[in-house]
Chain A
Amino acid sequence: VTPQLIIHGGAGVAPGDLSAEEERGARAALQEALLRGQAILKAGKSAQEAVVAAIVVLEDSPYFNAGRGAVFTHEGRNELDASLMLGNGQRAGAVAGVRRVKNPITLAQAVMEQSPHVMLTGQGAETFAKEKGLPLVEPDWFRTEKRWQQLQRRLAEEAGKQAARSDEAEYRRYVG
């Protein structure tokens, strides 16, 4: 079998959603992620390494909802989740709700390789990341103005709906 890599940067994008600059930036980041993974496969390294390398590129790009460029919670924070799984032996690692880990996919990898667990969450996951020496960043690293404005629009919409339909269940408003 020929080594190969496929990637995604999220579904749901529609024509007209992106400025010309955003579209160029997203395409360039996708291309870079593919080339980074390809170089690893070309060197005879593992699928795991190619997957992590490609995802790190996309996490560091402001054009996708992961790492830098992540969307905001209701409270105005970025909370990041990631997971990694290997077909050979079905080893797996995952993290949820981390706020300061620069590349959550590398923390998922550390959970898989350096702990007996599969998933760590929140503060505990961040403590584990610190103990393992993974890069931590200030929360502002993840912030982009576009995502912040998306949250402000959602909050404004929500406030309008609450005023009009205050008896509607919170869960229904959440899922739309």
Chain B
Amino acid sequence: TVGAVAIDAQGHLAAGTSTGGMTNKRWNRVGDSPVIGAGTWADSRCAVSGTGWGEFYIRSAAAHNICARVAHRGESAAQAGGKVINEEIVALGGDGGALVMTADGGYAFPFNTPGMYRGWVSVDGTPQVAIYASETLQGDV
């Protein structure tokens, strides 16, 4: 699965996700990636793209759940993303990661696997890229 989240000069957020699903999937199985609210969500305060065991992202409405925590509890990207990805989904038996960005420019890369391909760049910055959990990228949760 791949995904991207951005905020533009107008302060508008967008999120997108694309995937091939799971190896050996059957019966036209569909995971969370195309399910709005599970694998992808964006509103005026927060945007999320997920990557992980899709059934658990659907059952926890992961992407919307993260943004609801930002909107209604005032949590940061790291707090909300960490709570849903690294606590709620893990408690259900799932795993994976996500991108979270908030309208104030905060962002986070919560994940609970040995690694997640990830990267960040600002409009005038130098791109930062990481793969494994042992590499530290600002925003890692």
**Which residues of A pack against B, CB within 8 Å?**
1-15, 18, 23, 26-27, 30-31, 33-35, 37-38, 41-42, 44-48, 50-52, 54-55, 58-59, 64-67, 69-75, 78-88, 90, 92, 94-97, 104-105, 108, 118-119, 121-122, 142, 147, 150-151, 154-155, 158, 174-175
B20 touches A50 (CB 8 A): no
- Given the interface pairs A6-B120, A82-B34, A83-B35, the reply to whether A11 lies near B96 with Cβ below 8 Å is yes
Kindly supply a per-residue 1/0 record for chain B positions 1-42, scoring 1 wherever the CB is within 8 Å of any chain A CB and 0 otherwise.
111111111111111111111111110101101111001111
Q: How many whole Å from B99's CB to the nearest CB in chain A? A: 5
B101 cross-chain contacts in A, Cβ below 8 A: 4, 6
Residue of A whose beta carbon sits closest to that of B99: A6
B2 touches A73 (CB 8 A): no
B42 touches A90 (CB 8 A): yes
B129 cross-chain contacts in A, Cβ below 8 A: 27, 30-31, 34
Residue of A whose beta carbon sits closest to that of B45: A87
B4 touches A94 (CB 8 A): no
B11 touches A11 (CB 8 A): no
Q: How many whole Å from B11's CB to the nearest CB in chain A? A: 5
B3 cross-chain contacts in A, Cβ below 8 A: 7-8, 55
Give chain B's interface secondary structure class.
strand
B119 touches A3 (CB 8 A): no
A26 cross-chain contacts in B, Cβ below 8 A: 117, 131
B124 cross-chain contacts in A, Cβ below 8 A: 2, 42
26 contacts between A and B (CB under 8 A): A1-B104, A4-B125, A5-B5, A6-B109, A6-B118, A8-B49, A8-B51, A8-B117, A9-B116, A11-B117, A14-B132, A33-B119, A34-B120, A34-B127, A37-B4, A37-B6, A41-B9, A47-B12, A51-B14, A69-B20, A78-B20, A80-B19, A82-B34, A108-B16, A119-B34, A119-B36
In the bound assembly, the distance between CA atoms of A95 and B35 in angstroms comes to 9
B18 touches A7 (CB 8 A): no
B6 touches A51 (CB 8 A): yes
